[in-house]
Amino acid sequence: MNNKNILNALSQALVDLNQDAVLKQVQEGLEAGMKPLELIEEGLLPGMNTVGDEFEQDIKFLPEMMSAAMIFQEAMAILQPKILEAGGKSRNLGTVVLGTVKGDMHSIGKDIVKILLETAGFTVHDLGIDVNTFSFIEKAEEVSADIIAMSALLTTTLVNQRDLIEALEGQGTRDQFKIMVGGGAVTQAWSDEIKADAYTDTAFSAAKAAQKLVA
Ligand code: B12
């Protein structure tokens, strides 16, 4: 199978919720010399987006979305160490406090952002999911973070990104931290509106944007 076929088969296997086939395609891709990031961005992600579209159209339902997420995470368990190996983590570019905002349980995108920030040379404090504003700020102050990075996948939880920026403004410490926002619900327009310092729509570009922010 050529690389394009492997990516298509990988994507389709995730849509079919066929874990064995997903892991087989990941393995085949790696054996064919494909980059782990390519398998994620061009195989697993398009599959996950299709699952999301089918959920919206009532073709798939919540348990199926959960299976897709679990299979995605199994594939990441194979790919993540390979990405970190290739990164060689010797520098320390800065410190990032990362999390998914209050009310939001989506973790997959945040986890990929974490891996790529670490690969780029950042120390990342991952606060997990459903993180309230106070916890973000408390941790950022404790570790003297350079960047606070917030993920939001639900339109209803987006406001929590704005709340954090307003809380920093309220206590007069907005200038101490750069703020990055991302996740499926975020747009450049929203990022501009809340005066975040950076928004990107992929984890790869998030790592690049973070490097610019601390340069
Ligand atoms: C998997 C999934 C779930 C899983 C999550 C499991 C997990 N451990 O994460 C489960 C089943 C739990 C779930 C639950 C729900 N979900 Co859901 N889910 C999805 C799905 C299919 C995929 C999300 C995902 O992981 N994508 C892959 C990752 C890699 O993409 P990503 O998160 O966008 O991240 C990339 C970029 O955005 C960026 N990025 C991410 N974070 C950050 C942060 C920063 C700082 C930066 C710079 C960049 C960045 O980098 C990443 C990699 O490139 C999406 C559909 C979709 N197409 O996104 C729906 C979706 C997000 N879910 C949706 C909904 C409605 C729900 C539920 C409300 C359903 C329900 N009725 O209960 C619940 C909400 C639970 C809660 N309180 O959070 C809607 C949201 C609609 C909206 N706009 O508000 C979506 C869009 C589906 C749809 N089309 O309707 N979900």
Contact 4, 38 (CB under 8 A): no
**Is residue 178 located within the same domain as residue 99?**
yes
**Is residue 83 located within the same domain as residue 101?**
no
pLDDT (mean) for 86-96: 79
**Is residue 103 located within the same domain as residue 164?**
yes
- State how many domains the chain has: 2
Residue 166 belongs to domain spanning:
94-214
**Is residue 184 located within the same domain as residue 110?**
yes
- Ligand 1 atom 39 nearest Cα: 183
Q: Read off the DSSP letter of residue 71.
A: H
Query: CA distances (Å), 88 to each of 36, 67, 129, 182, 210, in order?
Result: 15, 32, 27, 25, 18
* pLDDT value for 47: 96
Atom from ligand 1 closest to the CA of residue 157:
84
Residues with CB under 6 A from ligand 1: 45, 48-49, 51-52, 55-56, 62, 65-66, 68-69, 103-110, 112-113, 149-151, 153-155, 180-185, 200-203, 206
Cα-to-centroid distance, 30 and ligand 1 (Å): 26
- What is the C-alpha to C-alpha distance for residues 171 and 164, in angstroms, rounded to an integer? 11
* pLDDT value for 91: 74
Question: Which contacts (CB < 8 Å, 24+ apart) does range 23-31 have?
Answer: 23/74, 23/75, 23/78, 26/75, 26/78, 26/79, 27/78, 28/1, 29/3, 30/78, 30/82
For residue 192, the domain's CATH number is 3.40.50.280
Q: What is the tens place of the pLDDT at every residue in 148-198?
A: 999 999 999 999 999 999 999 999 999 999 999 999 999 999 999 999 999
Cα-to-centroid distance, 194 and ligand 1 (Å): 21
Predicted TM-score (pTM) of this structure: 0.94
Under the banding of pLDDT at 50, 70 and 90, the label for residue 85 is confident
Task: List, as one string, the DSSP characters of 102-152.
Answer: TT----HHHHHHHHHHHHHTEEEEE--SSB-HHHHHHHHHHTT-SEEEEE-
